[in-house]
Chains A and B, each alone.
Chain A
Amino acid sequence: MCTAVADERASGAPGRAIDGGPVQEPRRPTELERIAIWFDRRTGFGRYAGTVLRKVFPDHWTFLLGEVALFCFVILLATGVFMTFFYTPDSRPTTYHGPYAPLDGTQVSAAFGSVMRLSFEVRAGLLMRQIHHWTALVFLGSIAVHLARVFFTGAFRRPRDINWVVGVGLLLLALAEGFTGYSLPDDLLSGTGLRIAYSAAISIPFIGPWLASLIFGGEFPTLDLISRLFVFHVMLFPGLLIAGIGTHLLFVFVQSHTQYKGGTRREDNVVGQPFWPGQVFRSVGLLFMTAAVISLIAGLIQINPIWLYGPFIPYAVSSPAQPDWYVGWLEGALRLGLPIEPTILGVTIPAPFIPGVVIPTILITGLLLWPFIEARLTHDRAEHHLLDWPWESPVRVATGAAAISLFLVFTLAGGNDVIGVFLNVPVESLTMVFRVLLVVLAVGTWVAIYWLASARRRRGEVERAVETAPGGIALRRTPDGGFQEVEGSPGGQPTQGGPPA
């Protein structure tokens, strides 16, 4: 396995007897050491703690992005627990009486009423709600940038392909957490989102209606839905997330961390700071900074004003109606979907099925299986502990960039009504533009990035050849057939030429 180039002085497991050297008066252990010894005698944890504390973390700021996601999850748990004290997961109607006059005396669901009380009557309740909601938006954002870092540096290659699968699973769970949480206030906006989700579910041929009925507890809207969403949101998904995050981190510990090329870093070592006393302070600092940045946003900027949206009424809808940003690409796929409903084997395929179910399934499956797809494409099944620079794998970086362009166009299309008003363009024209842009941009991005990355890689190969051949020179073949020495070549005795550029 990997040898750690780390500060070994940090290895002193508490309670270990010190032998050798001139025998001195035995030092009286400090209070902290006595507590550690007390635990060690009962659990033997010192043996594991030493390993954990000496664990080496390579230095690079991009390795902190996953930690931002982890700390967002911690904030979500803390604020979420607070809110469960005041939330009523019940769709049954009650009459709202409270300080918000425009809703006073109105019939609302118990769930909506409890969120109104949380927002207007519970001390710091609205702040907690806003921190929770803003953190959820940032949580998914930090997962996205972490995923992009792992993807573009090839950190998912063997042996970490298994952890990539765990990570994509965590992303899907986070999406599910976000969507169910967004729906819990039972307001008009989120109710519209649930109706769309229900419609996508019943659009699945053959099994759709049964599946939707099973999940929603009948035909939408159902009285059971809010209480089920609550169980999903506060128990099932968080439980799975905690287990998944544990697994994700366990793999990081067991497999050692990847690192960028350069310096003393090799495939068979890990260069960086030990967990204690190096990395732990960075991480704690990052936790506090994450909480501070999000709290600042949440304390100053209002989010999801459910009192303006009002309670969910099945016959009403407000506009503009969008989900939170991370579901926007699904909304956009539905808005760009073609209005065709073919009949196959006597079953009509409803229009939402292709954009709402098939395309997301294909994209998510592609993301999940990418390490294995790439291994098959490149025939590279070796272990990798050094990271690639993005251009070193043109196919990978081109595919990733094209996927991002797809995501961006879908997301923009999800807000086509808002953009239409903003740009003063009819929404129908915008939809047609996005349909074309979706394909053109994805293909164009793939070709352009592939070409750029290939050029950069060739340049890198020449540079490496020059560096690794001391005394050699690198030659470039000119278009008219001559040879030319590559600039920066050390020169000297021409033993063998570098690879042609």
Chain B
Amino acid sequence: MLAAGERLRPYAALLAVIAAMLGWWLVEQADASRAASSVGVTQVASLDTGRSLYLQGCAACHGPSGEGSAYGPSLVGVGAAAADFQLRTGRMPLSAPGAPAVRQSPAYSEEQIEAIDAFVASLGPGPAIPNVVASNGDLARGRQLYLANCAACHGATGAGGTVGGGFVAPPLDRADSRTVGEATIVGPGPMPAFAFDQQQLDDLAAYVELLHHPPHPGGLPVAEVGPVAEGFLAGAVGIVTLLAVARWIGRGAR
């Protein structure tokens, strides 16, 4: 038999690690709640709040007055739509200059985003946030617009795709009407900006909304990337099963 102390030593080490992780998590939580409460006090999305948030989170790359730097483009004249799209989809702020701008949960609260939007809009005249209402849109017109303008990169099913140069057109499964409209008129990243009117934006948003849950009358959709997945299934399920069937039927072979 081992002494009790000897047996417990590994557990003590584990316990210390867990305690350290718990402590770190608590500190993180406290930071987050402090950040949240500071907005709660301000309430109103004022230019001043926007400016201070901008100086903390954006100015390092985009410059103190949005003039841009070696690490980020100028934000003069990009408008509230561009800022709102980037912040709302979590693409900005980047974790480090040069890191890929990918969709994630937003770093700022609703009020903070509005404040930064207002500040960026004040840097120079640019596109305002469009008021896109998908329920005002026409599905058939939206489908035509989507297939003619968007499907080449985002795919006919909205599953996303590659566009070359290392760029990827993201899937649209989480794109709501607001960000669809913003991305369309702004053209973030390698995406071109489109001169669509209000009705066209509504139509497009209606169709993108349909693509979140497209009709599947034929059964299970396969990854929504078309013949690549279908061919893989035909081989991995169809041919493999039929080989097993042939093996079974021909099992009398000697």
Given A64-B249, A138-B242, check contact A318 B151 (CB 8 Å).
yes
Q: Is the CB of B249 within 8 A of A285?
A: yes
* Cα(A119)–Cα(B216), bound, Å: 11
Q: With an 8 A cutoff between CB atoms, is A134 at the interface?
A: yes
Q: With an 8 A cutoff between CB atoms, is A188 at the interface?
A: yes
Contact of B151 among A65, A307, A317 (CB under 8 A): A317
Q: Is the CB of B246 within 8 A of A319?
A: no
Chain B proximity mask over A411-438: 1 for CB below 8 Å, otherwise 0: 0000101101100101110000000000
How near does chain A come to B57, taking the closest CB pair, in angstroms? 26
Q: Is the CB of A138 within 8 A of B226?
A: no
| Residues on the A chain within 8 Å of B220, using CB | 300-302
Q: With an 8 A cutoff between CB atoms, is A322 at the interface?
A: yes
Q: Is the CB of B148 within 8 A of A316?
A: yes
Given contacts A103-B140, A302-B217, 18 further A-B contacts (CB under 8 A): A59-B252, A61-B248, A64-B246, A101-B139, A102-B140, A141-B234, A142-B239, A145-B239, A145-B243, A188-B156, A282-B250, A305-B221, A319-B154, A320-B161, A320-B225, A420-B162, A424-B168, A428-B166
Q: With an 8 A cutoff between CB atoms, is A452 at the interface?
A: no
Closest A residue, CB atoms, query B241: A293
Q: Is the CB of B242 within 8 A of A325?
A: no
| Residues on the B chain within 8 Å of A286, using CB | 245-246, 249
| Residues on the B chain within 8 Å of A307, using CB | 215
Q: With an 8 A cutoff between CB atoms, is A328 at the interface?
A: yes
Q: Is the CB of B247 within 8 A of A302?
A: no
Q: Is the CB of A421 within 8 A of B234?
A: no
Chain A proximity mask over B147-162: 1 for CB below 8 Å, otherwise 0: 1100111111100111
Q: With an 8 A cutoff between CB atoms, is A465 at the interface?
A: no
Closest A residue, CB atoms, query B167: A426
Q: Is the CB of B225 within 8 A of A141?
A: no
* Cα(A319)–Cα(B148), bound, Å: 12
Q: With an 8 A cutoff between CB atoms, is A85 at the interface?
A: no
* Cα(A132)–Cα(B232), bound, Å: 17
Q: With an 8 A cutoff between CB atoms, is B55 at the interface?
A: no
| Residues on the B chain within 8 Å of A305, using CB | 157, 214, 216, 218, 221
Q: With an 8 A cutoff between CB atoms, is B50 at the interface?
A: no
Q: Is the CB of B140 within 8 A of A106?
A: yes
Q: Is the CB of A320 within 8 A of B228?
A: yes
| Residues on the A chain within 8 Å of B246, using CB | 61-62, 64-65, 68, 286
Contact of A325 among B153, B210, B227 (CB under 8 A): B227
| Residues on the A chain within 8 Å of B242, using CB | 68, 138, 142, 289-290, 293
* Cα(A310)–Cα(B151), bound, Å: 11
Q: With an 8 A cutoff between CB atoms, is B73 at the interface?
A: no
Q: With an 8 A cutoff between CB atoms, is B165 at the interface?
A: yes
Closest A residue, CB atoms, query B251: A61
* Interface residue ranges, A against B (CB under 8 Å): 59-65, 68, 100-106, 119-120, 126, 130, 134, 137-138, 141-142, 145, 188-189, 263, 282, 285-286, 289-290, 293-294, 297, 299-305, 307-310, 313, 315-326, 328, 415, 417-418, 420-421, 424, 426-428
* Cα(A188)–Cα(B241), bound, Å: 32
Closest B residue, CB atoms, query A59: B253
Between-chain CB contacts (< 8 Å), 25 pairs: A61-B251, A101-B139, A102-B139, A106-B143, A106-B144, A145-B239, A286-B249, A290-B242, A301-B218, A301-B220, A301-B233, A302-B216, A302-B221, A305-B214, A308-B214, A317-B151, A318-B147, A318-B151, A318-B155, A319-B156, A320-B161, A325-B228, A421-B161, A426-B164, A426-B165
* Cα(A59)–Cα(B153), bound, Å: 52
| Residues on the A chain within 8 Å of B157, using CB | 305, 308
CB interface residues, B 115-147, toward A, < 8 Å: 139-140, 142-144, 147
Closest B residue, CB atoms, query A271: B254
Q: Is the CB of A130 within 8 A of B235?
A: no
How near does chain B come to A363, taking the closest CB pair, in angstroms? 19
* Cα(A420)–Cα(B162), bound, Å: 7
| Residues on the A chain within 8 Å of B241, using CB | 293
| Residues on the A chain within 8 Å of B163, using CB | 319
| Residues on the A chain within 8 Å of B227, using CB | 189, 304, 322-325, 328
Q: With an 8 A cutoff between CB atoms, is B219 at the interface?
A: yes
Q: Is the CB of B253 within 8 A of A61?
A: yes
| Residues on the A chain within 8 Å of B187, using CB | none
Closest A residue, CB atoms, query B229: A418
| Residues on the A chain within 8 Å of B143, using CB | 102-103, 106, 310
| Residues on the A chain within 8 Å of B247, using CB | 61
Q: Is the CB of A61 within 8 A of B249?
A: yes
| Residues on the B chain within 8 Å of A309, using CB | 147, 156
Q: With an 8 A cutoff between CB atoms, is B231 at the interface?
A: yes
Q: With an 8 A cutoff between CB atoms, is B85 at the interface?
A: no
